[in-house]
């Protein structure tokens, strides 16, 4: 688990740094100006870039979680659920398709809410938090569940467990806005959803 943690942290930190650099460079270039306008634009640009990098990291965190999902699930199962039989996952095409669909939804919704987060922070942050809670919760739960059932069964179980899943997603989304806690979202989120799955007491 420690090895997975350091690998996940390294990848998440690298992606977060790239997002920060890209956001600062792009927004400052877009707001380039001289004199006092340049100073104001620079200050606002720095704030906007910080919001943008935090905002855009959360979809990246979901992708990173996918890279380590199997390793994290196996480690958690060995520690907490040693009596479980080996997983019998949904077919690779179904898992891949679900990941693509969720990833595209998250990316689209994130891009749509980003201007609100920058120019109307109270409204944008509230909407973005709700969107991210759904995206992280639903995406990670179904991905974890499909290790032991079909995509149809996983989505049906998600609907049954929606309040619990979205509550966990809301906590993870909040952590996603708080560096350096955001770097732990891929690992902790996967482990949390596995616990939600196993405690739902669905027979294998």
Average pLDDT score over residue span 35-48:
53
Is there a contact between 148 and 89 (Cβ–Cβ < 8 Å)? Answer: yes
Of 1, 174, 172, 203, nearest in space to 84 by CA: 203
Q: What pLDDT is attached to residue 164?
A: 94
Is there a contact between 65 and 190 (Cβ–Cβ < 8 Å)? Answer: yes
**Where are the alpha helices (H) located in the chain, listed in sequence order?**
2-30, 35-80, 92-119, 121-145, 151-160, 162-176, 185-199
Average pLDDT, the chain: 78
Q: Where are the domains of the chain?
A: 58-199
Instruction: Please write the tens of the pLDDT for every residue from 77-89.
Output: 999 999 998 887 7
pLDDT band at 3 (very low <50, low <70, confident <90, very high): confident
Which comes out higher in pLDDT, residue 77 or 52? 77
Which comes out higher in pLDDT, residue 64 or 52? 64
Of 168, 176, 155, nearest in space to 194 by CA: 168
Q: What is the pTM of this model?
A: 0.76
Average pLDDT score over residue span 86-110:
72
Instruction: Please write the tens of the pLDDT for every residue from 150-193.
Output: 889 999 999 999 999 999 999 998 887 787 787 788 889 999 99
Average pLDDT score over residue span 8-28:
72
Distances (CA, A) of 34 to 10, 39, 43: 38, 8, 13
Average pLDDT score over residue span 104-116:
74
Q: What pLDDT is attached to residue 139?
A: 87
Percent of the chain with pLDDT over 70: 74
Average pLDDT score over residue span 141-145:
91
Q: What pLDDT is attached to residue 203?
A: 47
């Amino acid at each position: 688990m420690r090895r997975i943690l350091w690998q996940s942290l390294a990848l998440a930190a690298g992606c977060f740094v790239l997002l920060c650099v890209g956001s600062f460079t792009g927004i400052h270039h877009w707001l380039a100006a001289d004199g006092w306008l340049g100073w104001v634009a620079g200050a606002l640009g720095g704030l906007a870039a910080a919001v943008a990098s935090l905002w855009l990291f959360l979809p990246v965190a979901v992708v990173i979680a996918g890279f380590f999902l199997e390793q994290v699930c196996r480690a958690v199962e060995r520690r907490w659920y040693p009596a479980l039989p080996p997983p019998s996952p949904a077919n690779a095409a179904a898992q891949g398709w679900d990941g693509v669909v969720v990833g595209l939804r998250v990316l689209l919704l994130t891009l749509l809410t980003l201007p609100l987060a920058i120019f109307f922070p109270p409204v944008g942050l509230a909407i973005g938090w709700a969107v991210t809670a759904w995206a992280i919760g639903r995406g990670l739960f179904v991905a974890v569940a499909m290790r032991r059932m079909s995509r149809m069964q996983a989505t049906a179980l998600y609907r049954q467990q929606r309040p619990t899943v979205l509550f966990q997603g809301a906590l993870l989304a909040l952590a996603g806005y708080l560096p350096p806690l955001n770097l732990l979202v891929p690992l902790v989120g996967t482990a949390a959803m596995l616990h939600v799955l196993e405690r739902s007491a669905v027979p294998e």
